[in-house]
Amino acid sequence: MKPALRPLGWAMALALFAGSAHALERKPARAPSADKAEPEKKPAAPPAPPVQGAPLYEAQLLRLSEIMGALAYLRDLCGDGDGAEYRAKMAALLDAEGTAPERREKLAGAYNRGYRGYETTYGQCTGNARAAITRYVDEGGRLARDIADRYSGS
């Protein structure tokens, strides 16, 4: 028997990245800087393993939170102007899944880690920043679908 995702959580997990693939085309991209030799930024620390009592999808949810933080920063940096949407999606995720203060803190910490990791590295939009946006939209969509498919209880 699969553990069920919290009632609002499964629908919201899938909705988090619904339409995000099209979000990349909302506004024309600013030209990336000429500095193509800039190394790609990798997340500093992997998400913590699930704690006893945490849902089986905890590690995936932490990764999704980190991705939303990175996208909130990078999308605004590159002139897409929809970083606030990712902050709102994270707030909805916290409302649905952050039922205990410790859990809420872990999810928010993962979001902040994703945001700050790019904030400290990128001061302007580059080709690598655009590539990271594309990768994260794809990965976030896969994670959201996987969480919903595996743990929705349907």
Q: What is the pLDDT of residue 99?
A: 79
46: in domain: no
134: in domain: yes
Q: What is the pLDDT of residue 1?
A: 42
Expressed in angstroms, the distance from the first to the final Cα of the chain is 11
30: in domain: no
39: in domain: no
Q: What is the pLDDT of residue 81?
A: 87
Number of independent structural domains in the chain = 1
pTM, rounded to two decimals: 0.70
- Which residues make Cβ contacts (< 8 Å) with residue 6, sequence separation at least 6? 96, 97, 99
Report yes or no: 68 and 111 within 8 Å, Cβ to Cβ. Answer: yes
The parent domain of residue 133 ranges over 7-22+52-151
Convert the pLDDT of each residue in 4-28 to its tens digit: 445 445 445 445 555 443 333 333 3
29: in domain: no
41: in domain: no
Convert the pLDDT of each residue in 33-70 to its tens digit: 444 444 455 555 555 554 556 778 899 999 999 999 99
Using a pLDDT cut of 70, give the percent of the chain over it.
64
